[in-house]
Amino acid sequence: MLRLPVAERPAWRQLADDYGFVFHTIDGAPYWDESACYQFSLAQVEDHLEAPTAALHQLYLQAVDWLLAEPQWLRRLAIDEALWPALRRSWAAREPSLYSRLDLAYDGRGPAKLLENNADTPTSLFETAFWQWLWLEQQVERGQLPRSADQFNSLQERLIARFAALAAGRPGQPCYFAAMAGVVEDWGTISYLAECAKGAGVDARLLELETLATNADWQLLTAEGRLIPWLFKLYPWEFWLQEEGAPALVNGHCQLLEPLWKWLLGNKGMLALLWHLFPNHPNLLPAYLADEPAAAGLTHWVRKPFYSREGANVVMGQGQQLLCAAAGPYGQQPHVVQAACPLPRFGDNYTLIGSWLVDDQPAGIGIREDNSPITRDSARFLPHIILG
Amino acid sequence: MSSINRVGKAAPDSARKQGQMNFAGMAKVVGLGVFFVLALRGCKEEVGLYPDAGECQRDNPECGASCEAAYQRALARVDADAPRYASATECQDDFGGECQPLASGQFRPPLAGFMLPRGLDCDDFDWIGSSRLLYVGQRQATPHYQRWVTREGANIASSDARSARVDAALLRDNQAPASQLRPGGFGRSMRAFAQRSSS
């Protein structure tokens, strides 16, 4: 695993704008950064990233199965008892899921360690699936990279195949894609997903989440009153379930992506459950719920709220001392404490690997770099290649 | 944009790129507008008028399952769809026949059938979704007598007719009755918290 400087494509910003990838630069700071790329060997990708990604996902599925039969752990993970029947129904039916992203700490030597699972609302999808691949093709064409350079990235093909499989059970039914109005990056993600769905022959339609309505039968409808049989929502379940129309989400009228059971995977309390069920697994870090005595025994630790995003409210410490903390709005939640696994440093950059799954299968990686050991929403996205 | 072919090393079980993916049509996918295309219909539309699934199927031989689904949908929705009356007498004044009590204590006329646009692809979910429930008046000397009518009282055709041309605006009933639609209230809790939902 190397970090290599690469000459930027001369007009990539214009090209990005043309593609509608308008958040390549955020508040004047680069988000897409192609001044360098990461290089992996094929063995690193296959043995240290791809295989552990598949294995970790399977651990999560086993843990969900176990958890739903364990009222004590459901309470410890702060899952509202009123939701247990709906969660059990969703899991028993194995309601289909679309995608996930595991965040891994990996320095090229392995084993990769799981930091968290973005199983409900993962993003950085367009830049991973499409834009970094376009970068590779164009850099090969320009002679900046050898023709033998490859990429760990089958995300787009797998998304299209997944939509085709899901659509087979819903012939002719439109699939709606919802995100909060005006949130540019989220609309980028649902627009891209909708294009993947169209590529699979699905009648894909976008809508603003705030316009969703319900009726007396607790069916989900568009503002015009059209029934929504099938909906992808880029909106976290823990918020969604608190809102007025929530009964329409859990009664099975509408097929939701991600399904309700997937919400459990994103709860960071699951990191403690995984360690409880699979202690010393090579790709897991010791983790405990904050109220477990063992949590206080970790010398270098990271404390995370069950549902924070983009590194918000994450605190790193050593013994009693706080080393680093990220601000955020999620501090009032229960926390999990995980053994610290420092991200590898390349120069001044701390590097995190986001490893994607579609339909339970590993599908590629995206790389984020931050100047802080906690990866935040300001972290830059860099492309990667496989060579050798 | 021109299509981009992937050149990745082919390895069927690997998660690496597998060549020859066609990117055509994937261009400008992140456009931020909401690109609904609303179906534009002419002013009048030909509809079929069916008392039950069997008559629908005779008119649309390829559409047995869809006819059945449309009929079942009508049966399931009649309590919510039908015009409501405070008493059985008032209901019978308008419609005659066997008015049915509702859980609310009100009364409604019986379901007489449903209408569907003709000449559309019946495998299309929207086809069933655009069906409208119909009622037939049994009381002489009323405007509904032996006529197909919708819940708004739109007078479609004689109850003997099995097709008609109607205002396209009448075929918008996967619209729930407006009085029953309510905002889901979605998006508020996140809005109060953070700038974006994603992680």
CA angle, corner A287, sides to A2 and A121, nearest 5? Answer: 70
All residues of chain B having their beta carbon less than 8 Å from the beta carbon of residue A102 are none
Residues forming a β-bridge with A46:
none
Share of chain A above pLDDT 70, in %: 99
User: Which residues 116-175 on chain B approach chain A with CB closer than 8 angstroms?
Assistant: 121, 123-127, 129, 174-175
* pTM for this entry: 0.72
Q: Looking at A60-69, A273-282, B139-148, which range is the least confident one?
A: B139-148
Q: What is the pLDDT of residues A11-40, one digit of tens each?
A: 999 999 888 888 899 888 999 999 999 999
CA nearest A354: which of A62, A153, A109?
Answer: A153
Contact A245/B7, CB-based, under 8 Å? no
Task: Say whether the ipTM exceeds 0.85.
Answer: no
Asked if B123's CB is within 8 angstroms of A239's CB, the reply is: no
- The pLDDT assigned to B125 comes to 55
Residue A330's pLDDT is 66
pLDDT number for residue B24? 36
B175 to A174: CB separation less than 8 angstroms, yes or no = no
Instruction: Give dist(CA A199, CA A159) in Å, integer.
Output: 9
Please say whether the beta carbons of B24 and B1 come within 8 A: yes
Q: Which range has the worst mean pLDDT, A65-79, A80-94, A343-357, B71-85? A: B71-85
Check if B2 contacts A (Cβ < 8 Å).
no
How far apart, in Å, do the first and last CA atoms of chain A sit? 11
A363 contacts in B (CB within 8 Å)?
15
pLDDT score recorded for residue A310: 72
Structure tokens at A316: 């790193």
pLDDT at B88 over 80: yes
- Statement: residue B123 has pLDDT above 70: no
**Mean pLDDT on A160-180:** 92
> To the nearest whole angstrom, how far is the Cα of B159 from the nearest Cα of chain A?
28
For residue A194, list chain B residues with Cβ-Cβ distance below 8 A: 29
> CB distance B34–A206 less than 8 Å?
yes
What does residue B139 show for φ and ψ, rounded to 5 degrees? -105, 120
Residues with Cβ within 8 Å of A102's Cβ and at least 6 positions away in sequence, in order, are: A53, A56, A57, A114, A116, A117, A118, A354, A355, A356, A357
More confident residue, B98 or B123: B98
Q: Please name which of B47, B15, B42, B19 lies closest in space to residue B154, comparing C-alpha atoms.
A: B47
Does residue B1 surpass a pLDDT of 60? Answer: no
Instruction: Supply the pLDDT for residue B142.
Output: 77
pLDDT at res. B195: 52
Share of chain A above pLDDT 90, in %: 75
Q: What is the mean pLDDT of residues A124-140?
A: 94
Average pLDDT, chain A: 92
Q: Tell me the pLDDT band of B82, cut-offs 50, 70 and 90.
A: confident
pLDDT in tens, A235-266: 999 988 988 888 899 888 899 999 999 999 99
Question: Taking CB atoms and an 8 Å cut-off, how many pairs form between chains A and B?
Answer: 202
Residues 67-126 of B with CB under 8 A from A: 80, 121, 123-126
- Asked whether the beta carbons of residue B34 and residue A120 sit closer than 8 angstroms, the reply is no
pLDDT tens digits, residue range B160-194?
999 998 877 677 544 444 445 677 778 777 666 55
Residue A108 has pLDDT above 90, yes or no: yes
CA distance A121 to chain B (A): 5
Structure tokens of A348? 């001044």
Q: Do B155 and B115 meet the contact criterion of CB atoms below 8 Å apart?
A: no
At B14-25, the pLDDT tens digits run 444 433 333 433
Q: Is the dihedral of CA A81, A82, A86, A92 positive or negative?
A: positive
Residue A277, class by beta-carbon neighbours within 10 Å (0-12 exposed, 13-18 middle, 19+ buried)? middle
Q: What is the mean pLDDT of residues A86-105?
A: 96
